Structure 1
């Protein structure tokens, strides 16, 4: 069977070749109705761009930037290792990846780092940033200058990025809420929630899902005022220790990183009663907590899969391919003590 051509797409969509070209190459200036017609026609005809020709035209190869939070959280270290691995795997295809950092949860630092991204030498940027107006403005500026933006792990508003790669964080929070309510023997009492920063959209969405489930299904559980640990293990250890002494929570939900501090505080606690504890990300600290019975359950996303997906999507976007939002979805998994190797 002959491969579908751009002419087939135009004929199926009942639009001009020029319109198809503008849509496929993201040049803008096309009515939303016509854009939908072209996308539908691409799906119906099975049209695929000639990537060999596209690659030949890329004299400078692919030029990507990853902007990550500074610091040495276990999750960020895993991301850096996975990016380095992907860089090695894609080097033969002239993929150049530059890893940069900005201060964790600091919009001023994030804006400064985004301003250092040169649209003349950057095709795409994958970023972990706060979803606040000044950061979104910089992302929008970069997009207008031709840089395609991937929000990685933590999403931002849709107008500030091209695609989100990561899990559904509201669903993650709802999962945590259901497990919390079901694991507590008598689901009545206070629950401590530790966020990194609620300016981080992934943390805010997890909290939203968690709160909804507790309000709807476990009304006997009440949320204490949410504390922000800023992924700092020492700060989190102090917050948890003081809350355990003062409030005796029946549950703890750790939304972000810095869980070495959570585990340390739980280990030092004098009370014979231990709260049901749920955390995110499989790290040395959370696995230690699981093995020692200090953490009950970990909700994990696969950073390797997220990085691989992000690089693949950035290559596709640099090649002017249409990238459906669903391609950015990363599944979640549940880890308990018995599932550790």
Structure 2
């Protein structure tokens, strides 16, 4: 069966094509009576507007920004690499992607990035930012100006963001704890958690999930207070080295980045603690293969970038977006499946 066309709507409404086109594309200048006729005709004919074609015909441009930490390696580098590919791929669709760098875990830098945007310059923004009242205020300002705001990787659920794109970070922490306990095979020992920053909600939620499962199921394992490495390889290396001087470790859960430093800190340690990290990067992949770490929990940066762009585009076109659209599944990697 052939899909209804704008001509069918015009015939049913007994109006000109030009009038129907103005109503369907919200161009204004049409009497309310005619708008009602078009609305009724659309319902009667079952016409579905082809938004992509409409956008192409009026040469609409989409301007989307991504606010990311200015880190040249690891997971953020994978996000940036995928964005670079998408910038080229989406150019024919009139989609412009801008990357705005911030200092890692630096709220003032993140605020400055958000304040550089407005409804006049941007249709949507995906932001990777800390949990802070000032960040919420800037998101509210952008939302009031008609900018669609997504949180990326780390959610800000109490803000006026439109959607979250990323994994369930509590589930990620619970998953890490389940594997840590199983790999420890009933032995007693001490576990060190190394976060980037507990001001970052994704890291805070992973720690919370990890603690819950360890307390519920593995009382034989003792957790040290979570240490902050600020995703710095050198800081993480020193944390690991200093801890091992005073405390034998049964396990390490690296919540954030800085895995190069983690591996350097563990060098020549025997027996090696069970080690679980996040994100499948070149460093973590090589460490899995060499047996220096045991498991990687990955969140698929390619899927995150593509989901964020797709959701911002649909929101800009006034399409409904379900919560599930932004959910990024967790992938588990061990030496045998990479």
TM class by shorter-chain length? 0.7 to 0.9
8 Å Cα contact 2:172/2:297 also seen in 1: yes
Is residue 332 of structure 1 aligned with residue 338 of structure 2? no
The aligned counterpart of 1:87 is 87
Q: Deviations over 1:165-211 (max 9, x none)?
A: 11111111110000000001334221100000111111111111110
Identify which range, 232-241 or 289-298, moves more after superposition.
Answer: 289-298
The aligned counterpart of 1:315 is 313
Q: Against the structure 1 CA distance between its residues 336 and 139, is the aligned structure 2 distance closer, same or farther, given a 3 Å change threshold?
A: same
Q: Which runs of 5+ in 1 are unaligned?
A: 6-24, 26-41
8 Å Cα contact 1:174/1:209 also seen in 2: yes
Q: Against the structure 1 CA distance between its residues 49 and 154, is the aligned structure 2 distance closer, same or farther, given a 3 Å change threshold?
A: farther
Cα distance between partner residues in 2 of 1:78 and 1:313:
20
Is residue 293 of structure 1 aligned with residue 286 of structure 2? no
Cα distance between partner residues in 1 of 2:96 and 2:139:
21
8 Å Cα contact 2:118/2:145 also seen in 1: no
TM-score by length of 1: 0.83
- Equivalent residue of 1:64, what SS? strand
Cα distance between partner residues in 2 of 1:173 and 1:50:
42
Q: In the TM superposition, what are the counterparts of 1:1-341 in structure 2 within 5 Å?
A: 49-52=49-52, 54-56=54-56, 59-269=59-269, 272-340=270-338
- Equivalent residue of 2:197, what SS? coil
- How many residue pairs get aligned? The number is 300
Structure 1 position 60, deviation (Å): 4.5
Structure 1 position 256, deviation (Å): 0.4
Identify which range, 157-166 or 203-212, moves more after superposition.
Answer: 157-166
Cα distance between partner residues in 2 of 1:333 and 1:103:
28
Q: Over the residues paired in the alignment, what is the CA RMSD in angstroms?
A: 2.0
Larger Rg: 2
Q: Against the structure 1 CA distance between its residues 286 and 116, is the aligned structure 2 distance closer, same or farther, given a 3 Å change threshold?
A: same
The aligned counterpart of 1:34 is none
Q: Against the structure 1 CA distance between its residues 252 and 49, is the aligned structure 2 distance closer, same or farther, given a 3 Å change threshold?
A: farther
Structure 1 position 50, deviation (Å): 3.0
- Equivalent residue of 1:118, what SS? coil
Cα distance between partner residues in 1 of 2:211 and 2:91:
44
Cα distance between partner residues in 2 of 1:120 and 1:57:
22
Cα distance between partner residues in 2 of 1:268 and 1:81:
34
The aligned counterpart of 1:37 is none
The aligned counterpart of 1:11 is none
Q: Against the structure 1 CA distance between its residues 253 and 113, is the aligned structure 2 distance closer, same or farther, given a 3 Å change threshold?
A: same
Cα distance between partner residues in 2 of 1:233 and 1:242:
14
Structure 1 position 160, deviation (Å): 2.8
Structure 1 position 268, deviation (Å): 3.7
Q: Against the structure 1 CA distance between its residues 320 and 57, is the aligned structure 2 distance closer, same or farther, given a 3 Å change threshold?
A: farther
- Equivalent residue of 1:159, what SS? coil
8 Å Cα contact 1:54/1:319 also seen in 2: no
Q: Against the structure 1 CA distance between its residues 92 and 217, is the aligned structure 2 distance closer, same or farther, given a 3 Å change threshold?
A: same
8 Å Cα contact 1:280/1:300 also seen in 2: yes
Structure 1 position 66, deviation (Å): 0.6
Identify which range, 52-61 or 250-259, moves more after superposition.
Answer: 52-61
Q: Against the structure 1 CA distance between its residues 152 and 47, is the aligned structure 2 distance closer, same or farther, given a 3 Å change threshold?
A: farther
8 Å Cα contact 2:190/2:249 also seen in 1: yes
Cα distance between partner residues in 1 of 2:175 and 2:197:
20
Q: Against the structure 1 CA distance between its residues 98 and 189, is the aligned structure 2 distance closer, same or farther, given a 3 Å change threshold?
A: same
Cα distance between partner residues in 2 of 1:107 and 1:208:
22
8 Å Cα contact 2:284/2:296 also seen in 1: yes
